[in-house]
């Protein structure tokens, strides 16, 4: 299993009350405005979308609050990650991280340098800085998947300045940034000032819409933006994604409610997981998932144990730098989290 | 304007009862089952689609009726056209045809040979055959856009046999094939026998769903299929496209009704257009659009004239091999067609 959450394989979905802790989606579901106004999209289905997606881009601009930069639209963040990496001949991938970075880099014959997180799952800023001299770009998650750690802006400043001066590119994957809660953690606003930045965002996780397929890139580097756009096909965004953006980004009530939920449940689940016997370490997270180091059990055993109790956990050994001694858990609603904790604590 | 139907530019859409004859979409609208069952997709939005799209592929297989071949799914036919062309270093493009073939081939540094239609807009099978010796592949529309001509299977047999024996690939874009009406015109069934074939289909035109974004490729050449799939991103198909396929391909009533409409209106509009004074030639078509050669007027003048009457026509000069002396018209419902004819006949 390459990705988390392949609940379709072997039909394990069928007829079971399965709790999927391998997939990190906001449990509050999609913002109501989306389904309530689905008729708008149904009306638009019969015609081609605006090939320039003017209204869609305006809605994103209003949400992000940065005007004079380029917005690049993708059929999921997957397309944006892939095409941004394709523009470089060499790149640092900060790992462990989302496996697609490496798959994409290899596909485009992009030379890879790896910068490993420390044993405490913290970014090694010095290592990134040293390796930057030999490459054109770096890709880093903020917060990073699978551990949920965010970039320390003070420690990152030197890297930012170096890249800006030396025409290197920093790709920051912020697919989970909304879960962090405080706006100061994200780098979208920095694109106004730093041409070296390329920020990737999506509606997938926070707005609970993986089925819609929509992600986007933000950069002031118009040469990079043009390189990516030239590789894209026309009409790559469907009309339901246009609707999703329209009714999600403006739904302040949904956003506020989601932030209240994640702050409370992140604290709750983290503390409860710290008391689980088969965990040697639970890593602090700013995202909606938690990485755990196992004790006296491997991922396969714990996966099988949980599956029997109708819970799916994310094995983490296919993340570069991790091994069978790690798993990742989503943060869900209180009822589900309690069910998860009960199951995990029952293992001894 | 690169593509037809950019009705968004300059806001010409706003507040007008505009008839868009530049866009070739089935005027019957989307099959009812799609909107009636939209709730299924809304339920699925919150989770990732099956990364292998098993049910979706089964639905396509049942519709096409060919089992032991590969189905490659695309975010619109645009993705399939692009990625299939990317697999070759040299290709014949039969022109005039959909402008994306050339754009894609150039993007991938694929060497292009052009095979021009005859003055009567017929395929030059001998020319294709001769040029095939120097290239790896050929791409051809069936029916071809902008003229609507279909491949003559008898005359094409030699090309088919030659490609099969010499490991050349024939990409046939059948985005409009359903409008032709008789099943014998399509090459999908031939993929069972001929490994050299790569057929491109879509739900865009016949099922009136350009907003959903879904196309697919069919081939027995598993090496080619793998090359394309390796270039694709995971989860490239949205859950609304899954729903669209489910409720469109099985809607026999809609399909039958659409065929009755197109056969009648194609005949009607063709004969009426033959009596328009400013047309020197109206080309016979098997599709849902008609190419017309202008007399004593150019595309810009006729476009401006029609726009004043709130009708948009497709200028055809950006099709390689055509010039400002051609336009393309969609075939729509009787009421619209009558309005179009009245406007065209009023020009003198």
In the numeric block, the tokens 């990190």 are attached to A24
Give B162: exposed, middle or buried? Use CB within 10 Å, 0-12, 13-18, 19+. Answer: middle
- Contact list in B for residue A47 (CB cut-off 8 A) is 5, 7, 20, 23, 25, 210-211
CA distance A110 to A130: 19
Q: CB-CB: which of A52, A233, A237 is closest to B8?
A: A52
- Average pLDDT score over residue span B236-256: 98
Closest chain A C-alpha to B255 CA, distance in angstroms: 16
How close is the nearest chain B Cα to the Cα of A146, in Å? 18
For residues A334 and A338, give the distance between their C-alpha atoms in angstroms, rounded to a whole number.
6
Taking CA–CA distances from A243, the nearest residue in chain B reads B211
Structure token pair of residue A76: 């999921």
Is a pLDDT exceeding 80 seen at residue B2?
A: no
- Answer whether residue A277 shows pLDDT above 70: yes
User: What are the phi and psi torsion angles at B328 (to 5°)?
Assistant: -120, 140
CA distance A204 to A25: 8
The answer, yes or no, to whether residue B225 has pLDDT greater than 50, is yes
Q: Give B38's contacts in chain A (Cβ within 8 Å).
A: 38, 42
Token reading at B128? 């294709």
Compute the distance between CA of residue B280 and CA of residue B333 in angstroms, rounded to an integer: 24
Please choose, from the candidates A227, A198, A222, the residue with its C-alpha nearest in 3D space to the C-alpha of residue A77. Answer: A198
Q: Which domains does chain B have, with CATH numbers?
A: 9-25+252-345 (3.90.1150.10), 49-248 (3.40.640.10)
Structure tokens given for A237: 């965004």
Contact list, A9 vs chain B (CB under 8 Å)? 52
> To probe the interface with B, which of A19, A213, A312, A332 has the most B CB atoms within 10 Å?
A213
What are the residue ranges of helices labelled H in chain B?
32-36, 38-44, 54-64, 77-85, 100-107, 125-132, 153-166, 177-180, 222-231, 239-248, 252-273, 299-308, 334-345
Cis bond leading into B146, ω under 30°? yes
B212 and A79 in contact by Cβ < 8 A? Answer: no
Q: What is the pLDDT of residue A12?
A: 58
Residues 6+ apart with CB under 8 A from B38: A38, A42, B240, B243
Shortest Cα distance from A158 to chain B (angstroms)?
A: 33
What count of other Cβ atoms lies within 10 Å of the Cβ of residue B20? 22
Residue A5: per-residue pLDDT = 53
Q: Which residues contact A325 (CB under 8 A, 6 or more apart)?
A: A280, A293, A294, A298, A299
Contacts of A82 (CB under 8 A, 6+ apart): A100, A104, A107, B233
**Residue in A closest to B54 by C-alpha:** A8
What pLDDT, on the 0 to 100 scale, is given for residue B14? 59
CA dihedral sign, ordered B180, B185, B191, B196: negative
Tell me, what's the ipTM? Answer: 0.94
Does B213 contact A236 at a Cβ distance shorter than 8 Å? yes
Per-residue pLDDT at B292 exceeds 80: yes
Chain B residues touching A46 at Cβ < 8 A: 25, 29-30, 208-211
Interchain proximity A75–B213, CB inside 8 Å: yes
Ranges A2-16, B74-88, B274-288: which has the least confidence: A2-16
If you average pLDDT over residues A94-104, what whole number do you get? 98
Structure tokens at A338: 């309690």
**B16-63 pLDDT, tens digit each:** 779 999 999 999 999 999 999 999 999 999 999 999 999 999 999 999
**What order do you get walking across the sheet with B289-294 strand by strand?**
B279-282, B289-294, B326-330, B314-315
Instruction: Considering only the beta carbons, identify the residue of A8, A52, A241 that sits closest to B52.
Output: A8
Please state whether beta strands A215-219 and A311-312 pair in parallel, antiparallel, or not at all (unpaired).
Answer: unpaired
In this prediction, residue A17 carries a pLDDT of 76
Name the strand (E) or helix (H) holding A135.
none
Q: Decide if B327 contacts B314 (C-beta within 8 A).
A: yes
Mean pLDDT over residues B138-142, rounded?
98
Question: Quick check: B47 and A230 CB within 8 A?
Answer: no
3-state class (DSSP) for residue A254: helix
Q: Which residues pair with A90 in a beta bridge?
A: A111
- Mark residue B122 as left, alpha or beta (left: phi above 0; alpha: psi -120 to 50; beta: remaining): beta
Res B323 pLDDT > 70? yes
Instruction: State percent of chain A over pLDDT 70.
Output: 95
Per-residue pLDDT, A1: 47
Mean pLDDT for all residues in chain A: 95
pLDDT digits (tens, 9 = 90+) for A50-76: 999 999 999 999 999 999 999 999 999
**Cβ-defined contact of A45 to B211 (cutoff 8 Å):** yes
pLDDT of residue B348: 74
SS (H, E, C) B275-315: CCCCEEEECCCCCCEEEEEECCCCHHHHHHHHHHCCEECEE
Per-residue pLDDT band at A15 (split at 50, 70, 90): low
CB contact under 8 A, B3 and A30: no
Candidates A172, A104, A160; CA nearest to A132 is A160
pLDDT of residue A182: 73
Q: CA-nearest residue of chain A to B31?
A: A46
* Res B74: pLDDT: 98
Give the sign of the dihedral formed by CA A240, CA A245, CA A250, CA A254. positive
pLDDT for res B1: 47
What would the pLDDT profile of B48-101 be if each residue is shown by its tens digit?
A: 999 999 999 999 999 999 999 999 999 999 999 999 999 999 999 999 999 999
Cβ contacts (< 8 Å) between A233 and chain B: which residues? 75-76, 78-79, 82, 100
User: Count of alpha carbons within 13 Å of A301, Cβ hemisphere only?
Assistant: 11
Contact A214, A241 (CB under 8 A): yes
Strand partners, B139: B93, B171
CA distances from A39 to A43, A44, A240, B35 (A): 6, 9, 10, 9
Whole-number pLDDT of residue B339: 97
Of the candidates A46, A208, A213, the beta carbon closest to that of B211 is on A46
Residues of B in contact with A23 (CB under 8 A): 47-48
E strands present in A150-274:
169-173, 197-202, 215-219
**Pick from A330-344, B4-18, B213-227: least confident:** B4-18
CA–CA separation, A101 vs A88, rounded Å? 12
CA nearest A49 in B: which residue?
B211
Render pLDDT for A163-186 as a digit per residue (tens, 0 to 9): 999 999 999 999 999 999 977 789
Q: For the residues A94-113, what does the mean pLDDT come to?
A: 98
Nearest chain A residue (CA) to B29? A46
With residue A308 as reference, give the H or E element that holds it: helix A299-308
Task: Report the percent of chain A where pLDDT is more than 90.
Answer: 94
Supply the mean pLDDT for chain B: 95
| CB-CB contact of B228 with B214 (8 Å) | no
């Amino acid at each position: 299993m390459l990705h988390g959450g392949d609940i379709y394989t072997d039909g394990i979905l069928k007829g079971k009350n399965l709790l999927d802790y391998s997939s990190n989606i906001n449990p509050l579901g999609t913002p109501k405005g989306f389904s309530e106004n689905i008729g708008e999209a149904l009306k638009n289905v019969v015609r081609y979308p605006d090939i320039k997606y003017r209204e869609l881009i305006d809605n994103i601009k209003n949400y992000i609050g940065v005007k004079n930069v380029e917005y690049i639209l993708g059929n999921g963040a997957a397309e944006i990650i892939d095409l941004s990496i394709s523009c470089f001949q060499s790149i640092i991938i900060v790992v462990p991280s989302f496996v697609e970075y490496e798959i994409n880099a290899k596909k485009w014959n992009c030379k890879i340098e790896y910068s490993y997180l420390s044993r405490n799952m913290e970014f090694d800023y010095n290592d990134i800085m040293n390796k930057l001299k030999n490459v054109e770009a770096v890709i880093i998650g903020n917060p990073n998947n699978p551990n949920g750690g965010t970039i320390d802006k003070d420690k990152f400043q030197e890297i930012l300045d170096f890249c800006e001066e030396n025409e290197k590119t920093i790709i920051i994957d912020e697919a989970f940034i909304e879960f962090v809660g405080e706006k100061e953690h994200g780098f979208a606003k920095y694109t106004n000032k730093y041409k070296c930045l390329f920020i990737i965002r999506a509606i997938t996780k926070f707005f609970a819409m993986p089925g819609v397929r929509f992600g986007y890139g933000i950069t002031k580097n118009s040469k990079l933006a043009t390189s990516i756009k030239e590789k894209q096909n026309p009409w790559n965004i469907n009309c339901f994604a246009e609707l999703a953006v329209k009714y999600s980004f403006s739904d302040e009530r949904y956003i506020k409610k989601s932030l209240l939920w994640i702050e409370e449940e992140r604290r709750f689940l983290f503390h409860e997981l710290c008391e689980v016997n088969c965990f040697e370490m639970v890593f602090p997270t700013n995202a909606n998932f938690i990485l755990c180091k196992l004790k006296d059990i491997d991922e396969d055993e714990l996966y099988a144990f949980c599956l029997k109790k109708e819970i799916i956990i994310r094995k983490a050994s296919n993340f570069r730098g991790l091994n069978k001694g790690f798993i990742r858990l989503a943060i869900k609603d209180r009822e589900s989290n309690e069910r998860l904790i009960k199951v995990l604590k029952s293992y001894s």
